[in-house]
Structure 1
Amino acid sequence: MDKNTLAEYLHSLDLNSTVMESECPYNYDPMRSERKCSFDQPYREIDGFCNNIKYPFRGSSNYPAQRFIPADYGDGLNEPRRSVKGEELPNARIISNAVLQTNPKNHSTVTNMMMIFGLLMDHEVAFASSPTGFMFGNVKCCNTGSAKLHPLCMKMDFPEDDAFFGQYKVTCMEVVRSLPAIDTDCPRNQNNDVTSYIDGSPIYGSTIEVNNRLRAFSRGELKVQQNSLNPRLKTLMPIANISTTNQCEMRRKAGPYKCFAAGDARANENSLLIVFHTLFFREHNRIAQSLQKINPRWNDERLYQESRRILIAEIQHICFKEFIPILLGQSNLEKFGLGLKNTGYFVGYNQEVDASVDHGFVTAAFRFGHSLIKNGFDCIELLRGREQGVPSYNEWREFCGLLRYRNWDDMRNHIIPSAIDGMRATYENVDDVDIFIGGVAEIVLRKNGAKESDGILGPTFSCIIGNQYKNFRYGDRFWYENDNSNIISHAFTPRQLQEIRKVRLSRVICDNSYTIDSISRNVFIKPDFE
């Protein structure tokens, strides 16, 4: 039986009492709970539970991601995607060197803020369960001295003459598969450890345990520490203990490294990301202090929840007002219904819309930020998509209603010419091309000659991201523009909503930074192009 036939009929099979029961549980919901939903709930649950009253676990943390199109595994169940001939796909590092290193794209109009805010938004909605890190130990896949690898290993071998790694005699990179979800579906799926909603989870966490460690439980504020260099300067995020984050554990053994505590374990990945976390931590406390002055009778819980609600609204507004229009362009805003209202309330909420993140969005399309910085590890995204059963570039083109390429010549006028040459040299068939490779190499749509009018992405990535962000907005019961009519019991008033609509990322930076005398109104665009 081929993999397509297997996938088609698998759901009709009762696997109870068979050896496959534990791998593909039949009619089993691991998320059963005694928790009940209520329309009168005034604030979001920290784990996203009951955002959707009809489907209470949708979009919640530790819940399986969704798929816009069916998974494509080599064996139909679990193994990484294979070529149309059933053979192993080309080495991801070789493809990266052949295609991405020759990519001449130049996003000269945008600042580094696009890349780092995009990373924050990626952490906002997606984090695949992993067996690595402090809690699980490290799964070793390279130089193990054993012919039999750990079943979660998916190591990447480098050719000896690799232009970069060859000079350091590095021939292998540790790549470990995401943990499979205990799901009602088979083939293999993966959990999302954070909430899929845009709800400030990098700041507040996606579990009550993490959230409680971050709260000061006084005046509605988050915990902070004084700046050790100068106590008169603005506060910093608190220092993490071992149980809070695994980001710095390996380094801590070799020296006095200290991690910042945040709602997301990846907050310490790089210095720019730490800056963004710090800005929003400070913004929460700035809001809480202002609310306390206006409402001195409010207790800590009320101050905290109202401050959190306002900060989430600010993040949603910045994302859709400043970030997404640059990313997708005006035509895609209209196509996917992403344009924000200037006055009044949004009336598009639909409980049938699933706001859970899609695998193609997480592993490929929203990794667009890698094209804004120096290439080097793009091969990991080629490989991660295969590992999670993400279908090929051509399959996504068809999903988006775009031309499906029959041969390499069909790519002309759609793909950067040097990238076509690289694909032709590494892939045997156009149907084998990985979605990340094809999406990154697409030519950006243009109008009026050389003037860009449709954002900074090609049509396939724009389609995937547009569909996902439409779900984030239309499937979020607590979306900041929603009103009280049979959706939520505690909405912003029209006057409050108009104040939120004034927020820009530049304002957040100015209010929570030192000695900044002036700044661009839109920090995502270089001043010469505003």
Structure 2
Amino acid sequence: MTRTMGLLGPALLIVMITGGDSFGPLQKIVKQTITQVQTFKTNIRTGIITTTFQNSTYFSSSTYNNNWPGWKGASDSLNKQLLDSMKNEVKRGGPSKPVEVPATNLADAFRDAGMAAIKQSQRTDLDTLEDDSTGGMANAFATTREESRLIAEDANTLEEFSDTLARTTLQGLTPKAAGRTLAKLTLPEDLHALLPSQQSKGSRPPVCDTILQGNQEKPVVPIADWQNAAIRPECAKTKYRNYTGYCNNIAFPDRGSESTVFLRRLEPEYSPTPKRSSPRQSVLEAPLPGARDVSNLLVKVEVNPNPELTEMFMQFGQFLDHDLTSTPRAEDKDGKTPKCCGVSKDKMHAECFPIDLPADDVHYSQFHQTCLEFVRSLPGITGSCQLGYREQMNQQTAYIDGSQVYGATEKIALGLREMDGGRLKVAFPFPEDAKYALLPGADLKSGPCLDFAEDKKCLDAGDGRCNVHIGLQSMHTVFVRYHNHLVEQLGRINGAWDDEKLYQEARAIVAAQLQHITYKEWLPILVGETKMKEKGLALLSNGRYKGYNVSADASLTNEFSGAAFRFGHAMVSGHIFQMSTEFQQLGSLKMGDTFFRSNRLYEKGTIEAVLRGLTGQPGKRMGNSITPELGQRMFNSPKSPQQGLDLISLNIQRGRDHGLPGWMKWRRLCGLPTVDSFDELKRLGAMPRDISDKFALIYKSIEDIDLYPAGIAETATDGGVIGPTFSCIITEQFARLRSGDRFWYENDVKMPSRLTDAQLAAIRSTTLATIFCQSNSGIDKIQPDVFKKADESGPNERFWCSMIPSIDVTPWTGV
């Protein structure tokens, strides 16, 4: 598992000057390392001319942006220093020992050039998308926070230097060899002072503040003695989780915290081009087939119902995903989404990676559409500042901690609190009946709201994606109602508790219940009971979990977030049923008609009818098919309701953007049978024969097959609903989410957060049905396992909520 970073620190560059004919090393370094500053986000290039005069070397800009003269000044300043130093040495007949040119001057020149490129790329004349356009809403699906913008700006600057070094000094190496070479280097501790985020007031802490030991992070406390209260860092003395996930791991505080980069289990595969972070290409060094071409050939636009599972299985999976991962996308300096389609290359934002559409596309050709909007994910920086490839960041905490409900930063969390009685803010559109409370209304700055009105606002939640569709809005509403139900119950038995105590205890209970529901009810369906036992994921019925490992890193992997955990997109039915209290269908909503819309929420009983529908309607079978609501109409604009995005194409393009290796390499990593040719693939039996035949038609090499389309096409194994490759990636991740979480509810650790035996028993008694029944959700009857179809008579028949086990809060009396 690696944490590589495609970034080079400018202060690494030390120019050594030697006299006479020994000026060669200087000339070589200047010529090779400063040959060309690769502009980031633009096609403007700064050429370097190398001139020799009396064995001295200097460089000047042959072309530079006249609108930004800073580069010329920087180069002139550096030239003068180089020339003066070298002329003095020539006069003395050459030095007896090497003379250093201070690295900061050279670093400043590089940094200024990089900043010029960034300023140019963020120029105001770039075309941007309307917020309510298809592409604008797609980017809003992963709203970029200010913290992420700062990190990305630093990463963009540093990437300039990494690319320059790789293309010049390391130009004789293959891209992989160059990456490995860079990964062995570490940036100096004072690097942060040169970065853009450090040039303004209130900037975040240094990005290179993790102490290294060789190429490994050095723990801040001894691993063998991490539970010793006497040496415990201040951030670990609280009983409760930090909102950001920081200091969950006492020895390695950054691990799993928000705005840190994803892990990788395999090295990324970016294009073997001068720009080392360019999206993946074929192993034959040719373009991969277009993402939409792959989608058209391999994925059917249809819905096959699953008679065993309900739509709630998919819906909880999405809700859980938003607790774990959020990858910010590129924006311009004003926070706008750059327009990529219909823009000439010289005016296109360099983070554009649009999806070309075939002229005869089965859907989009009728609209004469030739392109789908797509911008790349923002780059991130590792805490250890090791060099390597471009990495992407996760804006959520990695842990199952309810961050989609409460927020992953203190600012978000405090904004959602009522600051009285431990309650979260709610709105009461129906004052006569408080049980129909909604989340508070959000302003337009928090994300798109297509039917915005002052009395019918979209919802404000811990995660900005809550308004994507009505099913997700309903889930967020239920959990906020449930939190407020908990604080009311806790307050009755603990009259002395203040607002903070009530809030934090309820938040901790909700996080524990989310963990229990995930591993007890949801995950066994996804991967199968056999795999749960094999991977050590099965929960204990009694006793304590002793598997916590302070050396485990719970951070999400890139392949988990960028491909495998997107399996649920192929399980969306596309229609959301509304059901009566007797679970009779009242109506059906097309998912596309609810994207970023809130008007129906203000009709009394809508959320309750939707929740009953999610637990009552059949889900969709997993496989190489997708609902037209996501395959053709996703994030459709009100102006063009039939003209949306194709989520399968976006997922394929995202994997290439992130440099995810092809499917066959993941099978090798997982110890699964592999093949070397398409003929062998047909005999492998990993997927239906007709699908393997189609892979052979569109990919040039078996190694080119993208992870996502192959993953959803694999035949399910081990009694689960997904194939073995995705199961391998997902189970590995969930094993670390348990073993690497200090606040895991079953843990047997000597920490203030440890649950009592009675509290642990209370958590184990609850289910997702418990949450629905106790959240004042208007649900009076429900089946015990909401992920499975209700029985007419049997263990999963619908019971009155009074018969569903509820959490007993008395073990929290006086704690």
TM-score between the two structures when normalised by the length of structure 2:
0.60
Q: Give the equivalent residue in structure 2 for 1:246.
A: 447
Classify 1:300/1:134 alpha carbon distance in 2 versus 1 (closer, same or farther; 3 Å): farther
Classify 1:419/1:269 alpha carbon distance in 2 versus 1 (closer, same or farther; 3 Å): same
Moved more, 125-134 or 182-191: 125-134
How far 1:195 moved relative to its partner? 0.5
1:307 aligns with 2:506: yes
Q: Give the equivalent residue in structure 2 for 1:450.
A: none
Q: Which amino acid in the other structure matches residue 65 of structure 1?
A: F
SS at match of 1:97: helix
1:407 aligns with 2:407: no
Percent identical:
36
Q: Give the equivalent residue in structure 2 for 1:424.
A: 696
Classify 1:41/1:514 alpha carbon distance in 2 versus 1 (closer, same or farther; 3 Å): closer
Pairing of 1:1-40 with structure 2 (within 5 A) = 1-13=173-185, 30=207, 32=209, 36-40=233-237
1:522 aligns with 2:699: no
How far 1:241 moved relative to its partner? 2.5
For residues 415 and 119 of structure 1, what CA distance do their matches in structure 2 show?
Answer: 25
1:441 aligns with 2:713: yes
How far 1:467 moved relative to its partner? 0.3
How far 1:371 moved relative to its partner? 1.5
Classify 1:11/1:121 alpha carbon distance in 2 versus 1 (closer, same or farther; 3 Å): same
TM-score between the two structures when normalised by the length of structure 1:
0.91
Q: Give the equivalent residue in structure 1 for 2:662.
A: 392
Classify 1:128/1:31 alpha carbon distance in 2 versus 1 (closer, same or farther; 3 Å): farther
Gaps of 5+ in 2: 1-172, 197-204, 211-219, 221-231, 573-625, 632-646, 797-815
Classify 1:330/1:364 alpha carbon distance in 2 versus 1 (closer, same or farther; 3 Å): same
Q: Give the equivalent residue in structure 2 for 1:475.
A: 740
SS at match of 1:527: coil
Q: Give the equivalent residue in structure 1 for 2:239.
A: 42
Q: Which amino acid in the other structure matches residue 746 of structure 2?
A: E
For residues 103 and 408 of structure 1, what CA distance do their matches in structure 2 show?
Answer: 27
Deviations 1:279-326 (A, max 9, x none): 100111100000000100001110010000001111111111111000
Q: Which has the higher helix share?
A: 2
Residue from 400, 410, 434 that aligns with 1:198: 400
Moved more, 409-418 or 44-53: 409-418
Q: Which has the higher strand share?
A: 2
Residue from 479, 489, 494 that aligns with 2:757: 494
Pairing of 1:117-516 with structure 2 (within 5 A) = 117-132=316-331, 136-183=335-382, 184=385, 185-228=387-430, 230-243=432-445, 245-248=446-449, 251=450, 258-373=457-572, 374-375=626-627, 376=631, 377-411=647-681, 412=683, 413-445=685-717, 453-485=718-750, 488-516=751-779
SS at match of 2:782: coil
Q: Which amino acid in the other structure matches residue 409 of structure 2?
A: T
For residues 56 and 48 of structure 1, what CA distance do their matches in structure 2 show?
Answer: 8
Residue from 248, 262, 266 that aligns with 1:51: 248
Classify 1:382/1:512 alpha carbon distance in 2 versus 1 (closer, same or farther; 3 Å): same
Pairing of 1:75-90 with structure 2 (within 5 A) = 75=272, 77-90=276-289
Moved more, 506-515 or 318-327: 506-515
For residues 253 and 504 of structure 1, what CA distance do their matches in structure 2 show?
Answer: 35
Moved more, 503-512 or 455-464: 503-512
Classify 1:31/1:477 alpha carbon distance in 2 versus 1 (closer, same or farther; 3 Å): farther
Q: Which amino acid in the other structure matches residue 520 of structure 1?
A: Q
Assess if the C-alpha contact under 8 Å between 2:422 and 2:503 holds in 1: yes
How far 1:138 moved relative to its partner? 1.7
Assess if the C-alpha contact under 8 Å between 2:236 and 2:248 holds in 1: no
Assess if the C-alpha contact under 8 Å between 1:361 and 1:464 holds in 2: yes
Classify 1:332/1:160 alpha carbon distance in 2 versus 1 (closer, same or farther; 3 Å): same
Moved more, 301-310 or 29-38: 29-38
Q: Give the equivalent residue in structure 1 for 2:260.
A: 63
Q: Which amino acid in the other structure matches residue 11 of structure 1?
A: A
How far 1:47 moved relative to its partner? 0.5
Moved more, 53-62 or 104-113: 104-113
Assess if the C-alpha contact under 8 Å between 2:430 and 2:437 holds in 1: no
SS at match of 1:196: coil
Q: Which amino acid in the other structure matches residue 227 of structure 1?
A: P
Assess if the C-alpha contact under 8 Å between 1:73 and 1:80 holds in 2: yes
For residues 237 and 355 of structure 2, what CA distance do their matches in structure 1 show?
Answer: 51
Assess if the C-alpha contact under 8 Å between 1:140 and 1:174 holds in 2: yes
Query: How many residues are paired up?
Result: 512
For residues 131 and 14 of structure 1, what CA distance do their matches in structure 2 show?
Answer: 26
How far 1:510 moved relative to its partner? 1.8
Pairing of 1:78-117 with structure 2 (within 5 A) = 78-101=277-300, 107-117=306-316
How far 1:228 moved relative to its partner? 3.8
Assess if the C-alpha contact under 8 Å between 2:354 and 2:375 holds in 1: yes
SS at match of 1:521: coil
Assess if the C-alpha contact under 8 Å between 2:233 and 2:250 holds in 1: no
Highest relative contact order (Cα 8 Å, sep 6+), 1 or 2? 1
Classify 1:254/1:388 alpha carbon distance in 2 versus 1 (closer, same or farther; 3 Å): farther
Deviations 1:362-420 (A, max 9, x none): 11110111111234121111110110111110111011111122112333311122211
Deviations 1:439-460 (A, max 9, x none): 1111112xxxxxxx52101100
Moved more, 4-13 or 101-110: 101-110
Deviations 1:324-377 (A, max 9, x none): 000000111012111001112111000111111111001111011111123412
SS at match of 1:266: helix
Assess if the C-alpha contact under 8 Å between 1:247 and 1:269 holds in 2: no
Classify 1:179/1:321 alpha carbon distance in 2 versus 1 (closer, same or farther; 3 Å): same
Q: Give the equivalent residue in structure 2 for 1:449.
A: none
Moved more, 69-78 or 312-321: 69-78
Classify 1:254/1:517 alpha carbon distance in 2 versus 1 (closer, same or farther; 3 Å): closer
Assess if the C-alpha contact under 8 Å between 1:327 and 1:456 holds in 2: yes
Assess if the C-alpha contact under 8 Å between 1:107 and 1:372 holds in 2: no
For residues 431 and 230 of structure 1, what CA distance do their matches in structure 2 show?
Answer: 62
For residues 350 and 498 of structure 1, what CA distance do their matches in structure 2 show?
Answer: 23
How far 1:240 moved relative to its partner? 1.2
For residues 475 and 78 of structure 1, what CA distance do their matches in structure 2 show?
Answer: 30
Classify 1:116/1:253 alpha carbon distance in 2 versus 1 (closer, same or farther; 3 Å): closer
How far 1:134 moved relative to its partner? 11
Moved more, 368-377 or 131-140: 131-140
Assess if the C-alpha contact under 8 Å between 1:103 and 1:419 holds in 2: no
For residues 311 and 261 of structure 2, what CA distance do their matches in structure 1 show?
Answer: 32
Q: Which amino acid in the other structure matches residue 468 of structure 1?
A: Q
Assess if the C-alpha contact under 8 Å between 1:37 and 1:50 holds in 2: no
Q: Give the equivalent residue in structure 2 for 1:448.
A: none
How far 1:506 moved relative to its partner? 1.2
